[in-house]
Amino acid sequence: MQKCTLQILPCTVSQLLSAYPDHDETFAIGDLELNQVSLVGIVRSCSPGVAYNQYFVDDMTGPPLTVRQWIDTEDLSSQMQPEPGVYVKVYGSLRIFQGKKVLLAKAIRRIKDLNEITSHMLEVVYAHKQLFGKGRDVNMNALCARSAGQTFSEEYRRAGLTAVQEQVLHVIIQHSVKDHGISFQDLVTLLDYMGIPEIRKSLSFLLNEGHVFSTIDENHFRSSVD
């Protein structure tokens, strides 16, 4: 399927963590190939280094995302080093380092006016509605599968799922548009903030309960949930 691109796409942490590997070290959300993205969140912790500084940015839509910015030794004055507790806007591209998703920052800017946080979320909603239409929300959930005011978490918990099982099923549902579904390796990559034993245990439960099923082999899965 041919992918479309956008110059800079405003995103949430949840969207970036759910993006799936495409080709040439790129990622995609639905049919959209991610090029440059923007993210707004609060710095939870930081790790200064010799070659790069690393930050963990949280926008409350998922676990904190690792943000890495290489140090420009020729122009140190142009690179800010935000401290924990500071809200920032990050521009960059999503990459994999040592098996984990990392937002490789081209620029990090401290947010002084908190209205920018609201503005960013409105930009996220607008951009994704324009790109994906009204049939899906900004996290690529099918809106027709929910009643008004109902969230996927409410549906899952009514089915007796734990928070970890919810997240595993949610990712599988997102990739069930493909005939072969999602591979276990891609599932582990997308849920890199979880342990592999947790994912295996949750997957086993979901298979036994009939929420998901194997496709082309025992390592590829699709959802049976509409």
Overall number of domains in the chain:
2
Q: Is residue 127 part of a domain?
A: yes
Residues 119 and 200 in one domain: no
pLDDT at 132: 63
213 φ, ψ to 5°? -145, 160
pLDDT at 14: 86
Q: Looking at 107, 132, 157, which one is the last position of a domain?
A: 132
The whole-angstrom separation of Cα 69 and Cα 84 is 16
End-to-end CA distance of the chain: 23
Residues 82 and 118 in one domain: yes
pLDDT at 159: 59
pLDDT per residue as tens, the chain (226 positions): 344 445 788 999 988 888 887 766 778 876 677 888 999 999 999 988 888 899 999 988 878 999 999 887 666 555 667 888 899 999 999 998 888 899 999 999 999 888 888 888 888 888 777 776 544 444 444 433 443 333 444 455 445 777 778 878 888 887 887 788 888 988 888 777 678 888 899 999 999 888 899 999 899 999 886 5
Residues 164 and 186 in one domain: yes
212-214 sheet: strands from edge to edge: 182-183, 220-223, 212-214
Residues 125 and 167 in one domain: no
Residues 164 and 208 in one domain: yes
Residues 104 and 185 in one domain: no
By the 10 Å C-beta count (0-12 exposed, 13-18 middle, 19+ buried), 9 is classed as buried
pLDDT at 225: 67
Q: Looking at 79, 103, 132, which one is the last position of a domain?
A: 132
Q: Which ranges in the chain belong to alpha helices (H)?
A: 13-18, 115-132, 152-158, 163-174, 184-190, 196-208
Q: Looking at 132, 153, 178, which one is the last position of a domain?
A: 132
Angle CA 185–191–194, to nearest 5 = 110
Question: Which range marks the domain in which residue 159 is found?
Answer: 144-223
26 φ, ψ to 5°? -105, 170
